[in-house]
């Protein structure tokens, strides 16, 4: 097997002997287990595992590995996926007016902090083109109105699919995506919302936060679903604020939180650290990698 590091994500009904059976399978196939992270949800009686393996020295093919693992998985009712780490994921960024998240993601990728290829920036406005050009990333200006939404989304999907995009990041793309668009990329669209969800969903959360006199301001990165701002939450963070904070102050503080939260969420996804279960995201921490 050419790739050295293999990552399995596993979800199944909780039951005795899971760790022993799964780890024994990989041991017998010649893999060295680098890390084995697990979580058992007693409320839902569900078990989750992220296991990273060193394939050096094994002579099993990917096809044989997966076929053999399916034989183990079937009686245990394992829902699983595998990543061989042999190619970087292609990522597209969608934006509208605000630039802070776009700058941050492009800079992190350039510095090697995000292990991916940023293949394009797509926007319904032309004002952020210069940022994409600064980082030598193709920029696509695709304006949208209520009347042209279906046509515009079809253009976006065509672009994404033609460039084999694995992950779409809505870095303050201020349009509500249709169900058809979202379902075309299940668990592959990450959105940053500028509030600590479930508080202040929808538009103008900083204005709403000011009106409520909040003492904490936050941001949330989540997978996009058909229900606006209701998808599985990947990352969140907050900062304390006071009664003296204006909407502009909250917006400025919030921008910094957004950058960090979105970057962490994207990194978690790229590193295969997330298992979605219903409307919850199980996010395993980095295991020394």
| pLDDT tens across the length of the chain (289 residues) | 666 899 999 999 999 999 999 999 999 999 999 999 999 999 999 999 999 999 998 989 999 999 999 999 999 999 999 999 889 999 999 999 999 999 999 999 999 999 999 999 999 999 999 999 999 999 999 999 989 999 999 999 999 999 999 999 999 999 999 999 999 999 999 999 887 766 666 667 777 777 888 888 889 999 999 887 789 999 999 988 888 878 888 888 889 999 999 999 999 999 999 999 999 999 999 876 6
Are 34 and 132 part of one and the same domain? no
Report residue 5 as tokens: 């590091």
Q: What b/e readout covers 248-263, taking b as 16+ CB neighbours within 10 angstroms?
A: eebbebbbebbbebbb
Catalytic residue numbers read: 229
Classify the C-alpha dihedral 256-258-262-265 as positive or negative.
Answer: positive
Last residue of a domain, one of 34, 54, 83: 83
Query: Do 190 and 55 fall into the same domain?
Result: no
Is the same domain home to 71 and 133? no
* Position 51 in a domain: yes
Residues 174-216: pLDDT tens digits?
A: 999 999 999 999 999 999 988 776 666 666 777 777 788 888 8
CA dist 131 and 139 (Å) reads 9
Q: Is 39 inside a domain boundary?
A: yes
Assess whether 122 and 253 both reside in one domain.
yes
Question: What confidence tens digit (pLDDT) does each residue in 264-282 have?
Answer: 999 999 999 999 999 999 9
Same domain, 22 and 112: no
> Which residues constitute the domain of residue 144?
89-283
**Domains identified in the chain, total number:** 2
Report d(CA 274, CA 260) in Å as an integer: 18
Q: Specify whether 30 is located in the same domain as 130.
A: no
Residue 288 lies in a domain: no
Do 39 and 110 fall into the same domain?
Answer: no
């Amino acid at each position: 097997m050419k790739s050295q590091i293999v990552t399995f994500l596993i979800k199944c009904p909780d039951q005795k002997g899971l760790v022993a059976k799964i780890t024994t399978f990989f041991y017998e196939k010649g893999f060295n287990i680098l890390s084995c992270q697990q979580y058992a949800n007693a409320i839902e009686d569900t078990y989750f595992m992220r296991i990273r393996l060193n394939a050096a020295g094994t002579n099993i093919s990917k096809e044989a590995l997966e076929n053999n693992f399916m034989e183990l998985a079937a009686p245990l009712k394992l829902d699983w996926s595998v990543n061989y780490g042999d190619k970087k994921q292609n990522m597209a960024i969608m934006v509208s007016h605000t630039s802070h998240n776009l700058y941050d993601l492009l800079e992190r990728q350039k510095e090697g902090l995000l292990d991916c290829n940023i293949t394009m920036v797509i926007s319904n406005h032309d004002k952020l083109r210069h940022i994409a050009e600064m980082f030598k990333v193709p920029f696509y200006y695709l304006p949208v109105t209520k009347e042209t939404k279906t046509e515009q989304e079809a253009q976006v999907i065509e672009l994404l699919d033609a460039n084999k995009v694995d992950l779409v990041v809505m870095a303050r793309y201020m349009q509500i995506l249709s169900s058809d668009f979202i379902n075309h990329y299940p668990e592959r669209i990450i959105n940053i919302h500028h509030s600590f969800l479930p508080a202040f969903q929808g538009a103008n959360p900083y204005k709403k936060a000011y009106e409520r006199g909040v003492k904490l301001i936050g941001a949330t990165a989540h997978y996009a679903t058909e229900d606006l701002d209701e998808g599985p939450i990947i990352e969140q963070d907050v900062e304390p604020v006071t009664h003296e904070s204006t909407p502009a102050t909250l917006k400025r503080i919030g921008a910094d939180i957004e950058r960090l939260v979105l970057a962490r969420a994207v990194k978690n996804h790229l590193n295969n650290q997330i298992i979605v279960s219903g409307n919850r995201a199980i996010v395993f921490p980095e295991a020394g990698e």
